Amino acid sequence: MNNILFVFLRRLHVPLIVLITVYAISVLGFVLIPGVDDQGNPWRMDFFHAFYFVSYMGSTIGFGEIPYEFTGAQRMWTTFTIYATVISWLYAIGYMLTIVQDPALRNLLTEHRFRRGVRRISEPFYLICGYGDTGNFLVRALNEAGIRAVVVEIDQDRINQLELEGYNTYVPGLCADASVPDNLIKAGLQNLDCAGVVALTNQDAVNLKVAITSKLLNPGLRTIARAETHDVEKNIASFGTDHIINPFDTFAGRLALALHSPGMYLLYEWMTSVPHESLREPVFPPSGRWILCGYGRFGKAVHERLKAEGVSSTVIEATPEITGTPSDGVVVGRGTEAETLHEADIQHAVGLVAGTDDDANNLSIVMTARSLNPDLFTVLRQNGRANDVIFNAVQSDLIMQRGNIIARKIFATITNPVLTDFLRLARRHDDDWANQLISRIGGIIGNEAPHVWMLTLDEENAPAVNTALESGETLTVQNIITDPHDFSRTLPLIVLLIKRPGDEAEQEIILPAGQEPLQPGDQLLLCGRFGSQSSVEWLVANLNVLEYVLYGEDRPAGTIWRRWVRRNHAARELQ
Amino acid sequence: MNLEKVIFAFFIVLALTINFGFFIGDIDNPDHHNVYELYAALVISLIATVLKFGDRTHIGAVLLATSLVADVQLIIAAVIWGVVEHVTQTGMTPHVMAAIVSLSGGALLANITSVVLFVIETSMMRR
């Protein structure tokens, strides 16, 4: 605020001095010019009346000639001063308005508002650099989950879009270059409440700079960076960035997963969904030969994965001289015209991936291919969020939106670090295992995406369980997921993973059985409906509720009652 | 030579000298204190204040503060003068005159501080 005031005052020098000077001269003139009073005696205006007269004349209020009627000389001076004061007022006010509208001052004002917004956040927040499709999706998901965010974006249009978004909480946005460390500091990089930095801009160099800046200025911070090339990926990893996400690899990996193990793919999608998203339907891609349109960075990654999964594929690429060719040959063409598709033997292919970086071409490829082979399983790559409507209209079997997949992955990483461990362990199992888990989860949740969260059995998060365990009682997984209202029922929940800190290595139990005993310090990954979290939290925090669940009766809570009951029990046993 | 500095110094020193001119004389003798001089002192002091706006340095802030002190003192003196002449109709008594002159004396001190600070700042420049 100080800066703004100083800039404002500095620019006001000239108009204010003009105003003071004009007033001073006018007042002095009235004092010096002789007049006459109502009796005709010579009279001179004093400073008080002169200032009074000039004040109302200058502001064009005009009460008339007081205290006595003016002489000719006084009227002449009045005529002059009317013009002088009015012009200087107009000049001063006009000048002030110009300053207010000055872009430099406006920038200062917006920046000031942004910094105040950041300062006022009194809970952990994430600093998101880049508000493109991915950033937008991520901020929306964080907002749904009640996590605050601050955005730095270089494009003013996107900042405007952010302001129009209507989030539940205020998301401050600054239009600035994230690669300038000063801007990150303005956005709260060094705030105590800053929980992490996510670098999502479309330029690797900027992401690298953001990651290195945050590691240097606030080493304890979690940093997540996007990197498009493996070079930069290694570079960012070299100074300890926590998570590096390569959009092409992630995206291609997910696509390959969808083709190879649809159950596992669905499990991934469900687990990494954002709050209140509708549940995705399972897909059943056929096995056989696939056609892959586009051999850019994405196409290459997909081709590699398909090869690794043992799926044969035919590549169509318009400019193989730029992108290079795969070892098993390439059909030259864009794939949007029937000849190329025929050349790639579309009649005998089972599926097609339209994976160029042009949305219109991708749509065109799918439409053409479908008319040639109606049974084709089509996978569409969507690059821009703006095309949502037409992509939904084309009714492709699988639409893969790059921004969403990456944003989901980051969201899961941010909100739930144990989930990443679970998904890593899940990959070791086969598709049937995933399908069984999917149907189990599907049985307990409605048509909304499952809620996955983490529970640590320590003093802070689960005081009741912690006390019970420390006093030597045995608690099992089943106890935790019992309905606190009716101990004979089980909550619609699944414990996906127990992470147990051990002396040497961490122990990880995936999908623990009901009778699995718990230990203090265990980290549990739970999955269930939205709202079931509060039941569990009540159970693990309240000793009375826990005892009810354990023993099936309401235990007396007060000391006197407890003694009373114990004595009764003892007496009954004696009889 | 910097024209801005010339104007700045001119008004700061002028504010001090005019203020001094009004202040000097018997403290309760209205004949020794001219109303035009008080008027000029007030106007010059206001202009000097505006000129000091917007200097972000520490010394600039102190300069602005001294100027504001002088303004306040002089405005109060002028208001007292106007009140006794036109509102209470008591006319100028030695008692009131003494009050007005002592207020302008306070403003004089503030103006002296201002000039001293200005001299210090100038001597620190070494350019």
Fold of A105-245: Rossmann fold (3.40.50)
Average pLDDT over residues B45-58: 86
CATH of region A277-402: 3.40.50.720
Strand (E) or helix (H) holding A352:
strand A351-354
pLDDT at B14 exceeding the cut of 90: yes
Cis peptide before A67 (omega within 30 of 0): yes
pLDDT band at residue B74, thresholds of 50, 70 and 90? very high
Q: Does A105-245 match A423-560 in CATH topology? A: no
Tell me which of A5, A6, A14 to substitute to probe the interface with B (most B C-beta atoms closer than 10 Å): A6
Average pLDDT, chain B: 89
Interfacial residues of B (vs A; Cβ cutoff 8 Å): 35-36, 39, 43, 46-47, 50-51, 53-56, 78, 81-82, 85-86
Per-residue pLDDT band at B43 (split at 50, 70, 90): very high
* CATH number belonging to the domain at A2-101, selected among 1.10.287, 1.10.3210, 1.10.10, 2.60.40: 1.10.287
Handedness of CA A384, A387, A389, A391 (dihedral sign): negative
- Taking a contact as any Cβ pair under 8 Å apart, which residues of chain A between 312 and 351 contact chain B? none
pLDDT of A244: 87
Please check whether residue A162 is in contact with residue A153, taking contact to mean a CB–CB distance below 8 angstroms: yes
Query: Strands, E, within A107-153: which ranges?
Result: 125-129, 148-153
Task: Give the number of C-alpha atoms closer than 13 A to the C-alpha of residue A179, restricted to the C-beta side.
Answer: 9
Q: Which of B86, B92, B100 to mutate to test the interface with A (most CBs of A within 10 A)?
A: B86
A7 interface with B at CB cutoff 8 Å? yes
CATH of domain A423-560: 3.30.70.1450
pLDDT at residue A554, rounded to an integer: 62
Task: Give the model's pLDDT for residue A347.
Answer: 84
A543 near B CB under 8 A? no
**d(C-alpha A119, C-alpha A196), whole Å:** 16
Q: Which segments of chain A have a pLDDT < 70?
A: 1-3, 553-559, 561-562, 565-566, 569-575
- A10 vs B contacts (CB less than 8 Å): 53-55
pLDDT score at A511: 85
**Using 50, 70 and 90 to split pLDDT, how confident is the model at B72?**
very high
Beta carbons of B53 and A13 less than 8 Å apart: yes
Q: Are A165 and A297 in contact (CB under 8 A)?
A: no
CA atoms within 13 A on the CB side of A318: 13
Q: Which residues of A fall within a CB distance of 8 Å from B56?
A: 6
Q: Is A407 helix (H, G, I), strand (E, B) or coil?
A: helix
**Ranges of each domain in chain A:** 2-101, 105-245, 277-402, 423-560
Question: With contact defined as beta carbons under 8 Å apart, do A149 and A170 qualify?
Answer: no
Query: Cβ B39–A6 below 8 Å, yes or no?
Result: no
From chain B, the residues in CB contact with A108 under 8 A are none
Q: What is the ipTM of this complex?
A: 0.77
Q: Give me the DSSP letters along A23-89.
A: HHHHHHHHHHSEEE-TTS-EEE--HHHHHHHHHHHHTT----S-SS---HHHHHHHHHHHHHHHHHH
Do A17 and B51 count as a contact with CB atoms less than 8 A apart?
yes
Q: Do A31 and B36 touch (CB under 8 A)?
A: yes
Whether A46 and chain B come into contact, CB under 8 Å, resolves to: yes
A48 to chain B: which residues are within 8 Å by CB? 81-82, 85-86
Considering only the beta carbons, identify the residue of B36, B43, B85 that sits closest to A48: B85
Rounded Cα distance between A142 and A385, Å, is 18
DSSP secondary structure of A224-261: EEE-SSHHHHHHHHHTT-SEEE-HHHHHHHHHHHHHH-
